[in-house]
Amino acid sequence: MGAAVLAALALRGVPWFAGLGPPPTPFTHGVTFLEPAYALLRDAAPRIPAGASVVVLAEPRHPGFESYFFRFGLALLPGRHVLPAAVFDAFTPPETWASAEYRVVVHGRPTPSDDELVLTTPAGTVWRRRPR
């Protein structure tokens, strides 16, 4: 009886309303605040070459989100040199990441910039630093 109650509750926890098709990201019906970062980094990965240095920022800047984004950058951009804009919910000094060749900006919009806009998605933008 107890097991049946728990199994029913477990089945009730499934987001059936979303249909059985593949969700856009692994976080679509779970920890949703991570969804844009995941989607943007997944889409950015083919545009960022191996060995390039990358920083993942939030727009607006937020040390908590950027701590997560640094970790997600390491996970989803293997082979690149991911630099932290924040760790443990605290910003790092800008010189830690200012030299990054690529900037992945979660929730970022295309804006006039000296840098090259590499990718725009609903989840944000990716920029490549122009030689100065």
* Binding status of residue 65 toward another protein by CB under 8 A: no
Shortest spacing between CB 21 and another protein, in angstroms = 9
- Centroid of chain to Cα 91: 17
Selected range binding another protein among 49-57, 67-75, 98-106, 117-125, rule: CB under 8 A: 67-75
* Binding status of residue 72 toward another protein by CB under 8 A: yes
SS3 content of the chain, % helix, strand, coil (to 5): 35, 20, 40
* Binding status of residue 28 toward another protein by CB under 8 A: yes
Distance CA 97, CA 90 (A): 14
* Binding status of residue 76 toward another protein by CB under 8 A: yes
Is residue 79 within 8 Å of 53, Cβ to Cβ?
no
Please select the residue that binds another protein; options are 36, 38, 104, 105, rule is CB under 8 A.
38
Please list, in sequence order, all residues whose beta carbon lies within 8 angstroms of the beta carbon of residue 83, skipping any fewer than 6 positions away.
53, 54, 55, 70, 96, 97, 99, 100
Distance CA 36, CA 115 (A): 22
Please select the residue that binds another protein; options are 43, 55, 92, 119, rule is CB under 8 A.
92
Number of continuous H segments (helices) and E segments (strands) in the chain: 3, 7
Shortest spacing between CB 4 and another protein, in angstroms = 5
* Binding status of residue 11 toward another protein by CB under 8 A: yes
Rule CB under 8 A: which residues touch another protein?
Answer: 2-11, 13-16, 18, 20, 22-31, 34, 38, 68, 70-72, 74-76, 78-79, 84, 87-88, 92, 96
